[in-house]
Structure formats: C-alpha cells, structure tokens
Amino acid sequence: MENVRTVELHGVKYSTHPITGYEGEPSALKTAFDILREDYEKDGKEIISMQTYYNSGYNSATDKIEGEPEFGIEVEYL
C-alpha cells in the first residue's frame, strides 16, 4: 500500500493506508487488515485499533469538492 500518511497526537500515532481498486469484496478487505496487522506486529508496534475510512474530498468550510475520494484503513498504534 502506497501513500501512507502518519500523524502523532499525545504519543499515539495514526497511519492511513489508502486502498485503490477496492470493489467491495469482504475477503479482500479482511486480507488487507490481516497484512497490515502482521506488518505492524513484526515492527513491534502495539495496535490500539484499526478501521476503514472514507474521505469524499468535500470541504465543508468552502462547500466545494477539493480532492479525490479516498477509501482505506486507518491504524491507531503506539
């Protein structure tokens, strides 16, 4: 997975892993979760939570679409 973004807040890190080409297949999403979980655990990172996210690209402050829609998995970890 490319284009991973990470931010840190109060000692907790949040990384987003965009998924391209996902067509709604549950087993493919489970596989992506499993791969990420394994990678984080191998790196010695303690996972707090993992969830999907969707960003429509809409900016409510400007009332405009300012980016491309993005779907992926967010990992919260120490």
Q: What is the pLDDT of residues 12-24, one digit of tens each?
A: 999 999 998 888 8
Name the pLDDT band for 37 (thresholds 50, 70, 90): very high
Euclidean distance between CA atoms 77 and 58, whole angstroms: 27
Does residue 73 register a pLDDT over 70? yes
Percent of the chain with pLDDT over 70: 99
Does residue 1 register a pLDDT over 90? no
Question: Which helix (DSSP H) or strand (DSSP E) does residue 61 occupy?
Answer: none
**Contact at 8 Å (CB) between 32 and 19?**
yes
Section 5-17 average pLDDT:
97
Residue 41's domain spans which residues?
A: 5-77
What are the strands, taking DSSP E only, across the chain? 5-9, 12-18, 47-55, 58-59, 64-65, 70-77
In total, how many domains does the chain have?
1
Q: With the C-alpha atoms ordered 27, 29, 31, 37, is the resulting torsion angle positive or negative?
A: negative
